[in-house]
Amino acid sequence: MALLQEENGKLVYRFDGETLVIEPWGKNSLRVRSRIFGEPEDTRYALLEPEPVQPVIRVGETEASLTNGRITAVLQINGWTKGCRITYRDQAGKVLLQERAEGGALGLKPRCYQPILGGDFHLTAGFESDPEEKLYGMGQYQQEKLNVKNCLLELAHRNSQASVPFVVSSLGYGFLWHNPAVGKAYFGGNVTEWYAESTKQMDYWITAGNTPAEIVEAYGTAVGKVPMMPEYGLGFWQCKLRYWNQEQLLEVAREYYRRKVPVDVIVCDFFHWPKMGDYRFDEEFFPDPAAMVRELKEMGMELMVSVWPQVDVQSENYGEMQAKGYLTHVEKGVNVSMLFVGNSNFFDATNPDARSYVWEKCRQNYYQDGIRIFWLDEAEPEFGAYDFDNYRYYMGPNVQIGNVYPQLYARTFYDGMTAEGQKQIVNLIRCAWAGSQRYGALVWSGDIHSDYETLRRQVCAGLNMGMAGIPWWTTDIGGFSDGNPDDECFRKLLVRWFEWGTFCPVMRLHGDRYQKDRRVFRKDGTEVLGTGGDNEIWSYGEEVCEILTKYIQLRERMRPYTRQLMQEAHEAGTPVMRTMFYVFPEDKTCWELKEQYMYGADILVAPMLYEEQYERDVYLPEGTTWTDAWTKQTYDGGQTIRVHAGLAEIPVFVRSGSSAIELFA
């Protein structure tokens, strides 16, 4: 019997219980699936239906190939073991990626299925490693690394960690591990390995491109692109730990309005509800939400409200949701997933009926009052303990499918808002997986600390999220925790962060600021969650307020430019924040830069990322001239210059010939 066959435009290998299928999946791209004892399933965790293409397939006795545009998969049979090894080549025949050999006496396999007794498989897919290769993407990890080569990355979500398993190689390929199982990716100098802790099959997508832009845009076509950003996503967003009642929130909005400082979005954060999972305002503290929304809109502001996926055991909805199977389950122990201001479980976003139930509650209690933007917190989800093997969903055990949770959490609101007729949808969310972008997910980097090391990590995180196909991304300007508005050192950090935040996809001030007395009580004397310290631009002194106001006004002038970047993200999947090599792939120096980047194609941003830093080196890419946005001095590209920047300035350069220079006063 022939081990290699063509079947309906696919290349198929069958031997010793394994079925391996390679098929075209969009231009210059392939989908590769393998399963033991059964035909591979066509799961669509992230991949969309591709446009049909006509591959070229050649089949011999011991070798076969499938060519789809710029990429060719070559399958070779080992004459001794009958095992199959895959090599991927570009249109010139250069090797892009190759499975590791079977290992001779070592007994290694390129696709290693290790049985889980009574269950499915641990899976390791191994590939040869080029030690000179550079790799980018993979989502958001809290590290000062842009190139993730020689990194071991956990394929799991945590607060401030978003695993988006798509990587772009300097060799000219992009690779999506299309498997939502908890696991790890190891990009070693000697081997590349993708590991799933529990799975039924191997499933990945690979594409070839001449530039990083071609690769990322092909990936966007494969898994989907963001909607068009609404106008209120282009300006400044105001937020703090918690505005504890309607009047406090409105008075902050009124003060911005009195100062003539434009605010696009103001946020009502967590525990504005009676019990977690009630999905409504607490009437004692927010007596007339509809009137609050109307007044904000009159001032040109949208209200964003926080929604958590947890449901407290004392919530008015818990009993019904438990009876209908709308909650996640623990495998062992007490059926409680998190302890925070009560005992709670998460709603099961993998269950379509649970998604509909939660949206209907939010539609009745928020959307009908005019709220058009939601903050989807805790989206990893953030279990009380990250014991990934102790939770089970409608779709299966968390360890096998859990990484898809934040994508489906975003879909809960996207589907509901779309059904209401809303077309431009953006919702802030604390995590993402492949495909989250098509559901209007604006990811922020979680509950990060307020220090310069953390600030530097966010620059790398934001750029790698863009390379992983998530163009909408932001941070808590100033960091979430440990900031004291009266501390001079923190004020300087906030200014530097705020300047950088002006050139992030969304500009949002947030944080749990220090306050001596933050307690809040009900009328009956019962204490509820505190309000947190002040976090408005005037909370840090007039000198700082003047600087922050300057950058809010700059962001306003940048609206047409930013709107164009959002259009490019919507149409092509292009990142808003772009690595230097994304825009200048032929300039070798650009592949090494992690502390400067491009905001779109024309604005080079070099944030000040170290304490008491007032000058830094900036590399200006070759092939064009550059103008300092503030001094208007012009420089030739292809050189590194030393730039001075006082506290009120961030080094910014504009590409020659761009009208963006007019944005800077």
Looking at the annotation, which residues are catalytic? Answer: 377, 380, 447
DSSP, residue by residue, 427-478: EEES---TTGGGGTEEEE--S-BSSHHHHHHHHHHHHHHHHTT---EE--BT
User: What letter does residue 165 receive in the DSSP assignment?
Assistant: E
Which tokens belong to 216?
A: 């990322």
Side-chain-facing half-sphere of 32: CA atoms under 13 Å: 23
CA distance 493 to 472: 24
Sign of CA dihedral 270, 276, 279, 282: negative
CA distance 302 to 565: 22
DSSP, residue by residue, 55-118: -EEEE-SSEEEEEETTEEEEEEE-TTT--EEEEEE-TTS-EEEEBPP--GGG---SEEEEEPTT
Sign of CA dihedral 255, 257, 261, 262: positive
Strand 441-444 and strand 473-474: pairing?
Answer: parallel
Task: For residue 94, give every residue at least 6 positions away whose Cβ sits within 8 Å of its Cβ, in sequence order, or none.
Answer: 171, 172
Side-chain-facing half-sphere of 304: CA atoms under 13 Å: 28
Alpha carbon of residue 382 to chain centroid: 16
Alpha carbon of residue 434 to chain centroid: 8
Are the C-beta atoms of residues 173 and 208 closer than 8 Å to each other? yes
Q: What is the CA radius of gyration of the chain?
A: 26
* Torsion, Cα of 550, 551, 553, 554 (10° steps): 120
Work out the widest C-alpha separation in the chain, in whole angstroms. 82
Sign of CA dihedral 612, 615, 619, 625: positive
Cβ neighbour number for residue 58 with a 10 Å cutoff: 14
Are the C-beta atoms of residues 11 and 58 closer than 8 Å to each other? no
